[in-house]
Structure formats: structure tokens, C-alpha cells
Amino acid sequence: MDGPFSIAIGLIASGDPALTGTIALSLKVTLTAVSIACLIGLPLGAGLALARFPGRGAIVVASNALMGLPPVVAGLLVYLLLSRSGPLGDLALLFTPTAMVIAQTILILPIVISLTRSVVEDLWSEYREQLRSLGAGRLRAVPTLLWDGRVSLVTGILAGFGRASAEVGAVLIVGGNIAGQTRTMTTAITLETSRGNLGLAVALGIILLLITLSLNAAAWGLAQSARGRLG
């Protein structure tokens, strides 16, 4: 009788189609969510760093607090929005990968906004007079500061990726864990473990760990080489 680890290795080595399909969907959902969160969060965070308006403090606190938003709660919110009787029920998005992308975007967005705000705010205090002297106003400073803060920003975006790829609550609620359609690595691990199918669960666990590990290695390597190259 084989143990779960040898079964897991066997599954990975044979490139089991159920396994690869689940991995591909997980990556697709999370990468899409990260991209959307960056598209919205980078300019928003930078704007929050440079602009001064009433209520700014409340937004900063809210986005910081939402970094710790429990994934199940995010999932529940999106579920309520997308369910048949919800305000967006007519779109029939519940239990689709799109719903999972929406839920994960909500999870990652506060991380990207808060991180961008803090990075850009620090840079702005250093760059402010110089940029003004060179002829850049606040608005024009935004892309400059985002680009000059790119190393710290990428590290933070990877943290967001890590959070999204590791969470199970949100995707389980809004995706429904349908085999071949909305089954991700984390939801599959939950299911296979409860069914006693430990080999597949362990295989997915190993892959998930490897992805997280290599992402962090990449982030670290990037930061190191950037320090050497950019000063």
C-alpha cells in the first residue's frame, strides 16, 4: 500500500490531467485577479499618497484594515452580490471563474493600495522638491514615483499573489468547487482531504508550496539584484 507522498510524487511525475487542469485554473484566476488589482490599486494608492482631501484618513485606515479581510467574508460579500436574488444576479456569474476572480481581486486590492500608498508617500517626501524643480506637478509625479518604487512594489504585489493563491474561503463560496470548472488547488485540497484521497491532496499541497516558494525566491532575487543595479 503506497503512502500519500509516493502517490503524490507519482501524480506529479505522470502529469495527471486533473492535477494540471486544477493548477492551471488556480494560476489563471489568481494572476487575473492580481492584474486587475494592480490596474486599479497602483494609481489609486499613488493618488492617495499625493492627494489631500477630507476623508483621506478614513480611506487609508479602511484600506489598511481590509488587508486583513477574512477570505470567507470576501467570498460571502461577492456571493450576496452575484446570487440569483442579489443585485448582480442577472449576470449569472456565480460559480464561474469570473466570480472567483472578483472575490480574489477584492482580497488583493487593499494590499496593493496600502502598499503603493506607503511606498509612494515615502518616495514623495524625498522627491517632492526635486520633481517640482524639474517641472513635474503632482499628477505627472505619479508615474515617476511608481516607476522609481518598482522594486518595493513588485515585492508587495507578490505578497498579494501569495495571499490570493493560498486562500480557500472566497473561491470555495463563490466558485463552488466544481470539478474541471471552478476547482482550484486549495479547494481541491479541502475536498480530497475530506474524502480521504490524500495522495492528490498532498500532490496539490506540494505544488502550492513550490509556487509560493519560487515566487518568494523570485521576489528576493529581484530585490537583491535591483539593489545592486539601481542603488
Site for another protein contains 231 (CB under 8 A)? yes
Between helix 185-194 and helix 17-50 the angle, nearest 10°, is 130
In 3D, which of 63, 165, 46, 164 has the Cα closest to residue 110? 63
Choose one: 13-21, 99-107, 144-152, 197-205; the region binding another protein (CB under 8 A). 144-152
Instruction: Choose between 156 and 199: whose C-beta lies nearer to another protein.
Output: 156
Beta-carbon count within 10 A of 22 CB: 24
Minimum distance from residue 39 beta carbon to another protein (Å): 23
Candidates 5, 10, 91, 126; binder of another protein (CB under 8 A) is: 126
Judged on CB neighbours under 10 Å (0-12, 13-18, 19+), 225 is: exposed
Nearer to another protein, 130 or 194 (CB): 130
**Residue selected from 52, 57, 129, 196 as contacting another protein according to rule CB under 8 A:** 129
Got the DSSP string for 54-116? Answer: TTHHHHHHHHHHHTT--HHHHHHHHHHHHSTTSTTGGG--TTSHHHHHHHHHHHHHHHHHHHH
How many whole angstroms separate alpha carbon 52 and alpha carbon 69? 26
- We find the least distance from the C-beta atom of residue 220 to another protein, in angstroms, to be 19
Least separation in angstroms between CB 60 and another protein: 25
Query: Is 195 an interacting residue with respect to another protein (CB under 8 A)?
Result: no
Nearer to another protein, 131 or 203 (CB): 131
Determine if 140 is a binding residue for another protein (CB under 8 A): yes
Contact map string, positions 37 to 66, toward another protein, x by CB under 8 A: ------------------------------
Residues recorded for the chain: 231
Q: How many residues bind another protein (CB under 8 A)?
A: 17
| Residue 213 buriedness (CB in 10 A; 0-12 / 13-18 / 19+) | exposed
Q: Are 37 and 161 in contact (CB under 8 A)?
A: no
Residue 230 touching another protein (CB under 8 A)? yes
Q: Given the rule CB under 8 A, which residues bind another protein? A: 126-127, 129-136, 140, 144, 147-148, 229-231
